[in-house]
Amino acid sequence: MNQFQVALSVHIVAVAVWVGGMIVLAAILPAIRGAIDDEAFRSDVIVAVANRFQVVAWTGFAAAVVTGVWLLLTIGPIGGVFARRLGEKLVMVAISAIAAGVHAFWLSPHIRKLTDSDPHRAQSLRKWTGALGVIALVAAIAAVFAAVRMATS
């Protein structure tokens, strides 16, 4: 296996962790919400799951970025359709990362702080966490589609 194949393999696995993790989390959270009646316990479970997910997902994201740069350095100069599709992919990756980052590192902690002091405000902000999660996931899937188009151009 050469350097390019190693980088591409790690890149694919890292992207699978990032995108697949979001898909799995989107499937698990409604099940947790439906299975646990006690609001405080449900919240603790969701926070624990989300915290573990963040460690795995952001590690996958970082590995995807590092290997993506490595791949670009390996293939040399780019242009034309490939460069345009790479740009499309990078825009979708940026949207996914920004939405997920705002969700994980700003909004969710902010909501947790408000839960005791201003539960009404915390509840009204929760809808934004779902919206940001959907944006992050849709953009990540769009990035995968852009990558496939890029690879086949």
Could you report the per-residue pLDDT of 4-38, keeping only the tens digit for each?
999 999 999 999 999 999 999 999 999 999 999 99
The whole-model pTM stands at: 0.90
Counting the structural domains of the chain, the total is: 1
| H-only helix segments in the chain | 3-35, 39-75, 80-102, 108-117, 119-151
| Domain housing 77 | 3-151
pLDDT for the residue numbered 60: 98
pLDDT for the residue numbered 39: 86
Residue 149 burial by CB count (10 A; 0-12/13-18/19+): exposed, middle or buried?
Answer: middle
- Measured in degrees and rounded to the nearest 5, phi and psi for residue 37 equal -80, -40
pLDDT for the residue numbered 32: 95
Average pLDDT over every residue of 119-143:
93
